[in-house]
Chain A
Amino acid sequence: GNSVTQMEGPVTLSEEAFLTINCTYTATGYPSLFWYVQYPGEGLQLLLKATKADDKGSNKGFEATYRKETTSFHLEKGSVQVSDSAVYFCALKETSGSRLTFGEGTQLTVNP
């Protein structure tokens, strides 16, 4: 079945550091890939998405590229801010297009 594996957290960085959160997936067909962010006390909200191989999703300085050859969708940001502290979830949506499969989430803390 479909699955998503994220790098283990928590991740702690200093402000302005470079961020990478690894995400790999297992799926049949051609899934769409998503990154969600969850701020404390809130629900998950979409950060970015990519729907086909080599697509790059981007938003708020975050980027991720759909790599079919390595089945990966790593999240990157060049310079993190304290306000980026949150839990980040990688997810895929199967070809049939109904449900999302989420990774376990990665807690990011950015210190001033």
Chain B
Amino acid sequence: DAGVIQSPRHEVTEMGQEVTLRCKPISGHDYLFWYRQTMMRGLELLIYFNNNVPIDDSGMPEDRFSAKMPNASFSTLKIQPSEPRDSAVYFCASSLVGRFTEAFFGQGTRLTVV
């Protein structure tokens, strides 16, 4: 398997624009996680899905953020409208069910909002 695939790797957008980040998890994995990483706040869990169903979105910072998982092989994280403070690296990860199993991370999307 190619691992968790995220696109784009880099995104530069203007404040107020809509941004969509994409993720393809590892085939067969039950869980999908979206994280945000910044120098100030470290690694934050935004939302996670189990079998395509959102389980916990308490980490989503504002209503401007939304995430979907229409099928087992695709998820999106959307920010509308984007703001400069959203600039961060966004990671997608996936895992199998079970307390012994690790999460596999994608390469991340570096988002810059100017």
Contact = CB atoms under 8 A, between A and B. Distances in A.
30 contacts: A31-B99, A32-B99, A42-B108, A43-B4, A43-B91, A43-B106, A43-B108, A44-B91, A44-B93, A44-B105, A46-B102, A49-B100, A51-B99, A89-B43, A93-B100, A93-B101, A95-B99, A96-B99, A97-B97, A97-B98, A97-B100, A98-B31, A98-B48, A99-B33, A99-B48, A100-B33, A100-B103, A104-B42, A104-B43, A105-B43
| Secondary structure class of chain B's binding surface, majority of residues | strand
A25 interface: no
Contacts of B105: 36, 43-45
Interface in A16-74: 31-32, 34, 36, 42-46, 49, 51
Contacts of A105: 42-43
B107 interface: yes
Given A102-B42, A104-B42, 5 more contacts: A32-B99, A34-B102, A42-B107, A42-B108, A49-B100
A94 interface: yes
Interface of B: 4, 31, 33, 42-43, 45, 48, 50, 55-56, 91, 93, 97-108
Interface of A: 31-32, 34, 36, 42-46, 49, 51, 89, 93-100, 102, 104-105
Contacts of A46: 102, 104
Given A42-B107, A43-B106, A98 B101 contact: no
Contact of B102 (A42, A49, A96): A49
Nearest to B105: A43
B102 A43 contact: no
A43 B94 CA distance: 12
Contacts of B101: 93, 97
